[in-house]
Structure 1
Amino acid sequence: MELWWSYHHESLLPPNAGFTRTFGPGWDSFFNQFVFFTTQSNIILGITTLLLALQIKRNSEWFHIWRLVGLIDITITAIVFNFVLATGPSRGGIAELASTFEHMINPILAIVGWFVFGPSGSVTIRRMIIAAMIPILYAGFTLIRGAIMQWYPYNILDVTNLGYSGVSIYIVAIFILFLIIAFVLFLFDRWLGSKWIRH
């Protein structure tokens, strides 16, 4: 829904943006949507969930790493969107519905589904360390692209307003949040695996 909306509308500026560039409507706005952390986390979560639905017993190391990334990122998406990001004007209609799913419903379904269905034993220290590289790569890519394109997806990454020092504070805070969520999932994975019958 969000991608459909982005194709038919001009991309919105983050609240209090220090820049004026926008994209679209059209393919520029459509492809720009993939720069958003929200879009990426929902795509990763959706693909890994679909693969698990087709076959829950999976041995691929990289699958479980990406599954972990999806779970952590979607949790961060919910927390940061609802408690940190400045609220922009309501877009209404299908865009507002898509936002509700991406930032609220999908994160809840993801965590509940993981609690109930597992798979158990999929969260390991090694996978946590590798998964933690993904948000670092995202931050680096976003800042480099932002400097070139003069556009940033979120006000907490708006170098024009906050400077690199201000943006760095948010990046470090979100990275710490990533590690905390990963460790909590690790502990619950061990506990649930011993208490419940999970796959």
Structure 2
Amino acid sequence: MLLGVFRLAIVALEVIALIGNFRYVLGFRTFATANFFSYFTIQSAFLAVITLAIAAGFALTAPRDPAWLGILRTCVTVYVVLSGIVFAIIVAESSSHGYRVDVPWSDTLLHFVVPALAVIAWSVDSVLGVNPPVPWSTVGWVLPFPFGWLIYTLIRGADVGWYPYFFLDEAQVGSVLGVVVACAIVLAIFLALTASFVAINRWLWRRARDRRARPKRSPDPTAARVGSPALRR
């Protein structure tokens, strides 16, 4: 029950962050709706809303989540966490590229607060060990969405002359090779982060299983008799 409510709370916070961020960027003269929805952060946030809403439904109505939901939640958690990491790097590196990146409250929610809460929600599942363990195949399942997004972004960027992240723009990184290297690094981080999540989940799940399998100690009747007033007399 509480787990379902917690998941719904994250959904509500993510929706608030998305609405707030959309309202914030409306104030820019260069704002374009298509550009806003082309950010990986925004798309992964929508995925998080859908996934956590489904997960909340299962937590409130079923004894455990289905195995496929564990895979999906792990992938989406990786997406939002990596979005936060990339955003933090962009903010830190923006001055060296000749521009400033402001961080309004909506970006703070989107890139830092919600990812942290998503990790907590994901970790609680792992610690409780009620749901099936996340399989190693999740490491492969994490890639289709980023690959699809990358192909879409590169094709659209070449057409409209705009990229959501500077490391995808050949003009900003200096060469096609620079873009390829940046993409390879990000994809490698996807794989490494997902593998870490799966390993942690399976380790915590085994610990939870062992705790449940450990027999409970029953009171020793002999010790009780020895300590009784009648025997002491």
Shorter-chain TM-score bucket reads: 0.7 to 0.9
- SS in structure 2 at match of 1:181: helix
Distance 2:53 2:133 in 1: 17
Give distance in 2, aligned partners of 1:83 and 1:90: 11
Distance 1:123 1:69 in 2: 10
Normalised to the residue count of structure 2, the TM-score between the two structures is 0.68
Quick check: which has more Rg, 1 or 2? 2
Structure 1 position 161, deviation (Å) = 2.3
1 or 2, which has the higher helix percentage? 2
Q: Structure 1 residues 180, 121: CA separation in 2 closer, same or farther (over 3 Å shift)?
A: farther
* Higher mean displacement: 71-80 or 175-184: 71-80
| 1:35 alignment partner AA | S
* Distance of 1:9 and 1:143 partners within structure 2: 26
Aligned match for 1:104, one of 112, 121, 137: 112
The structure showing larger relative contact order (alpha-carbon pairs under 8 Å, at least 6 residues apart) is 1
Corresponding residue for residue 171 of structure 1: 183
Q: How does 1:111-130 map to 2 (within 5 A)?
A: 111-118=119-126, 120-130=131-141
Whether the aligned pair in 1 keeps the contact of 2:65 and 2:132 (CA below 8 Å) is no
RMSD: 2.2
**1:113 Cα deviation after fit:** 1.0
Equivalences for residues 57-72 of structure 1 within 5 A:
57-59=64-66, 61=68, 63-72=69-78
Name the count of aligned residue pairs. 177
Contact kept? 2:133, 2:202, Cα under 8 Å: no
User: Cα offset for 1:117?
Assistant: 2.7
Q: If the length of structure 1 is used for normalisation, what is the TM-score?
A: 0.78
1:5 to 16, 24, 35: 24
Q: Tell whether 2:145 aligns with 1:137.
A: no
- Choose which of 38, 43, 46 in structure 1 pairs with 2:41: 38
Provide the identity percentage. 24
For each residue in 1:103-158, what CA deviation from the matched residue of structure 2 results, as whole angstroms up to 9, or x when unmatched?
11111111111101347435222232122122122111111100001100111111
What is the one-letter code of the residue matched to 2:116? I
Q: Which runs of 5+ in 2 are unaligned?
A: 1-19, 210-233
Give ranges in structure 1 of 5+ residues lacking alignment. 12-21
Query: Distance in 2 between the 1:178 and 1:122 partners?
Result: 20
Pair 60,116 (structure 1): closer, same or farther in 2 beyond 3 Å: closer
1:84 and 1:31 mapped to 2: Cα distance?
Answer: 21
**2:87 is matched with which residue?**
81
Q: Distance in 2 between matches of 1:138 and 1:122?
A: 28
